[in-house]
Amino acid sequence: MVFPRSGGLRAPPLLLSFLLPAIWEVGSGQLRYSVPEEAPHGTFVGRIAQDLGLEPAELVPRLFRVASRERGDLLEVNLQNGILFVNSRLDREELCGRSAECSLHLEVIVDRPLQVFHVEVEVRDVNDNPPVFPSIQKNLFIAESRPLDTRVPLEGASDADIGANALLTYRLSPSEYFSLEKPSHDYQVKGLGLVLRKSLDREETPEIFLVLTATDGGKPEQTGTVQLLITVLDANDNAPVFDRTLYTVKLPENVPNGTLVIKVNASDLDEGLNGDVVYSFSTDVAPNVKNKFHIDTNTGQISVNGYIDFEEYKSYEILVEGIDKGQLPLSGHCRVIVEIQDTNDNVPYVEFKSLSLPISENAPLSTVIALISVSDRDSGANGQVTCTLMPDTPFKLVSTFKNYYSLVLDSALDRETVSAYQVVVTARDGGSPPLWATASVSVEVADVNDNAPAFAQAEYTVFVKENNAPGSHIFTVRARDADAQENARVSYALVERRVGERALSSYVSVHAESGKVHALQPLDREELELLRFQVSARDAGVPALGSNVTLQVFVLDENDNAPALLAPAGGGALSEALWRSVGAGHVVTKVRAVDADSGYNAWLSYELQPPAGADGARSPFRVGLYTGEISTTRALDEADAPRQRLLVLVKDHGEPALTATATVLVSLVDSGQEPKTSRVSLGVVGPEASLVDVNVYLIVAICAVSSLLVLTLVLYVALRCWGSPTQGACAPGKPVLVCSSAVGSWSYSQQRRQRVCSGEGPPKTDLMAFSPSLPQGPNSAEERQQPSDSDYIGKPRQSNPDWRYSASLRAGMHSSVHLEEAGILRAGPGGPDQQWPTVSSATPEPEAGEVSPPVGAGVNSNSWTFKYGPGNPKQSGPGELPDKFIIPGSPAIISIRQEPSNSQIDKSDFITFGKKEETKKKKKKKKGNKTQEKKEKGNSTTDNSDQ
């Protein structure tokens, strides 16, 4: 939109200038507009956004802005429509002076990404300045005797405009004495002056008044005037004359004061005072000349009197006047043109115009980081500037326009390696010697979340004692993130999973900031030996990165579990009946205990406590230190009390040691009495007889059931023996294992079948079954001669408590038996060999083998490993059967006995099965041989059912 300007005759040309369209062109990578000076506020300059290929909608988001070397408020951009308009008064003469070209250099900057556009706006000149003379009136003195065509120089007018607007023409008011000599285009030849056309007569015309008018070439014209007052002097015949009317000299800038510039000379043909010349600057000389130069009035030497700067003025015009000393002085004039030569006295200037900092470490290559402008006030080669960048930086300089550079990214950045760069730009001119300047900027690299938290180890092992306090600190995980600020702020969390039937978070927790791991509840090694879980570490970046670390928490055992007595000792006192006739070493019973701890905390030892009020007499019983077997230390006599109360102290090896006490009631029975065994509960205080009766009924019932089972098995074997189709009913054969079960195991031999069928023939090797398999007493490894059936009549037999245990418990108790060797079961010469693992026996006897302490917890903590030693007389030799062996997967131990040929034991009773022997003994008691009873009386028997 065009706004007309008021102001009389000056308005029409300005209006015409505004109506000229503002043109633009693309050249050398920039836009070019033009606008007339003195354009009012809001004058349209150009559609800068459209010309730069930008949409008006993206100007604000991309931070569109305009910067200028000159005043930054002269031109503005409407961010709504992208139009460049005049914002304040444009005065070409103020901006550019007398320069032929006047342009405003604009830098248009947009971000996201950073882009720079160079725009040049030409300020066109309008004829807004009239010609101006140095003064409004000039006084001239001319002698009446001056000859015709005498020339009197004049100082012309000046016009601040340029071009045609500054092209001046002069005219002189009508005069019969003088005419006007106009200056030519070559100002070095001759200038403006008055020429005398008619002789002067002081008496007739003492003063002459003239008006000199200067008119410029603008439309409309602008004029300026000066009044000339010419005074006619009395006769002085000759005026001073200079050697040359024009002197030209070249002077380097920055010369010191007093430097001689030139010496002018004028001569006067008169004599005396009329011939003496005095030199001075003309009254029309410019003020800057008077400030920079000095003329010697007597010699005419012009010297430097101020700072000469090429960048300030490139040339000076000095008007010199020579005046004689006559009564009516005459003067001569000349001009001195001083051209200033440039020297390399200005250091280049470097400026960072725009910075896009910090720069992201994942910024792509060629990203613009900063804009750099350089300048040098010198000219020519002295003003040509080149820029360089310090080495070893991931940046480079790209020349975008004359004296403009862009600092761009040249290689990839990594903030974790270098977080900031000090970029130094060096600008060097082409002078000799060259001058240089530097400018630096700190380029900070912004962090990007490109590093996940990292733990020092992939897995940590932690040892924690059980029974810890709830909430106790057990470990601290620490992850390091190489990023910065929020990207390096690490938080920790559990990787949730199930531990058995419970969530992991019910056992442990981790602090989100410190990484401290706490146990939320006391840990029990007997419940949980190893807790393995993961802790995750995640940073606060977007998107968040994370990693996991594995923690293995081993729960260390503490002696927090006292030994536990197994039934029946654990639930009450154990009552046992014992013949007084037994000898030393007879095993009475065995105290069994377990410890839920592990290692030495579960290693149990047994001690027999002396009864209260004991008189120091030696007790007839002892207990195995590690087996718990109670056996006799000597033969019993009549002096021993009929009821013995034994207190067995079971103690572990922990610190401090924990104990349990078992009570064993032993009733000594004389020969001929019916032994009665009973178990009396410690928790019930009452008559022991009632408890004994209850146990007797229970034993009778169990024996009856066992007898039925044995009878069934015997019938089954007999049927198999008689019904064999391939062999004779009583044909010999190799031993064959028939059956094993969870409640007992038994074996069968072909040789025994022959004896059952015919009742004759030499005695053969039999397999004897014992069930269930439990740790054996100290005498169990010794082979004893099996008594005949009559030996059982009237003799007390050790109670076997194994019938109280379930099959799973017996299997668990036996599962820790170590299989050390393999025995060879041979049927006879030439027969096939059968490999059987031998049993591990819990015996402390040195001749039986090696003994080692337990290494595990639970019901197996009392188990011992037995190996046949070199001194064991029962080591099987070639062709012999091992003493005993186990059936894999069965809790039973099968023992093999070798019977002499003259043995009178009834071979029909070749199967022994737990408590079933009690029923068999009762039957044999009714029909036993009294002669055999007397013969075998006094011999001690060993109950193998506990083995």
Per-residue pLDDT of 42-72, as tens digits, reads 999 999 989 988 998 889 888 888 887 766 6
Q: What percent of the chain has pLDDT over 70?
A: 68
Q: If we measure between CA atoms, which residue out of 318, 325, 314 comes closest to residue 293?
A: 318
Confidence of residue 109 (pLDDT cuts 50, 70, 90): confident
User: Are the beta carbons of 83 and 48 closer than 8 angstroms?
Assistant: yes
Highest mean pLDDT (candidates 142-151, 381-390, 913-922):
381-390
Q: How many CA atoms lie within 13 A of 778 on its CB side?
A: 21
d(CA 151, CA 148): 9
Question: Does 529 score more than 80 pLDDT?
Answer: yes
Mean pLDDT for the stretch of residues 444-466 = 93
Per-residue pLDDT of 9-19, as tens digits, reads 333 333 333 33
- pLDDT band of residue 851 (cuts 50, 70, 90) is very low
Give the per-residue pLDDT at 339: 93
**How many CA atoms lie within 13 Å of 361's alpha carbon, on the beta-carbon side?**
18
Number of H helices, E strands in the chain: 9, 60
Tens-place pLDDT, residues 620-664: 899 999 999 999 998 888 888 888 888 999 999 988 999 999 988
CB atoms closer than 10 angstroms to residue 24: 20
Which residues fall within 8 angstroms of residue 715, CB to CB, at 6 or more apart?
A: none
In the prediction, which pLDDT does 242 show? Answer: 92
Q: Residue 231: name the closest of 154, 152, 140, 133 by CA.
A: 140
C-beta atoms surrounding 266 within 10 Å:
22
What pLDDT is recorded for position 421?
92
pTM over 0.95: no
* Tokens linked to 687: 């008559």
Handedness of CA 796, 797, 798, 800 (dihedral sign): negative
- The pLDDT tens digits of the residues spanning 556-571 come to 999 989 999 887 655 5
